[in-house]
Copies of this chain bind each other. A is one copy, B any other.
Amino acid sequence: MRLSRYFLPLLKEVPSEAQIVSHQLMLRAGMIRQSSAGIYSWLPLGFRVLRRVEQIVREEMNAAGAHEILMPAIQPAELWQESGRYEDYGKEMLRITDRHERPMLYGPTHEEVVTDIFRRSVRSYRDLPVNLYQIQWKFRDEIRPRFGVMRGREFLMKDNYSFDLDLAGAMRSYDNMFMAYVRTFRRMDLTAIPMRASSGAIGGDMSHEFQVLAATGESQVYYDVAFEEFDFLAAVADEATVEHLKGLYAATDEEHDSASCPVPAERLRSGRGIEVGQIFYFGTKYSKPMGATVAGPDGQEVPVEMGCYGIGISRLAGALIEVFHDDAGIRWPESVAPFRLGIINLRPGDAACDALVADLEGKLARAGVEVLIDDRDESPGAKFATMDLIGLPWQAIVGPRGVKQGVVELKNRASGERQELSPEALLGRMTA
- How many residues in A have their beta carbons less than 8 Å from beta carbons of B? 50
Q: Shortest beta-carbon distance, A8 to chain B, in Å? A: 9
Chain B positions within 8 Å of A70 at CB level: 41-42, 47, 50
Chain B positions within 8 Å of A116 at CB level: 35
- A36 interface contact, C-beta 8 A: yes
Chain B positions within 8 Å of A72 at CB level: 35, 39-41, 154
Contact of A44 among B41, B68, B91, B102 (CB under 8 A): B68
- A426 interface contact, C-beta 8 A: no
- The 8 A CB mask of A314-328 against B (1 = contact, 0 = none) is 000000000000000
Do the beta carbons of A104 and B36 come within 8 Å of each other? yes
- The 8 A CB mask of A117-160 against B (1 = contact, 0 = none) is 10011100000001010000101010100000000011000000
Number of identical protomers: 2
Do the beta carbons of B96 and A96 come within 8 Å of each other? yes
- A67 interface contact, C-beta 8 A: yes
By DSSP majority rule, is chain A's interface helix, strand, loop, or mixed? mixed
Q: Shortest beta-carbon distance, A323 to chain B, in Å? A: 23
- The 8 A CB mask of A99-116 against B (1 = contact, 0 = none) is 100101010000001001
Chain B positions within 8 Å of A71 at CB level: 35, 41-42
Q: Shortest beta-carbon distance, A301 to chain B, in Å? A: 18
CB-defined A-B contacts under 8 Å, sample of 11:
A6-B67, A7-B69, A9-B122, A33-B120, A33-B121, A41-B69, A41-B113, A41-B117, A43-B117, A72-B154, A74-B154
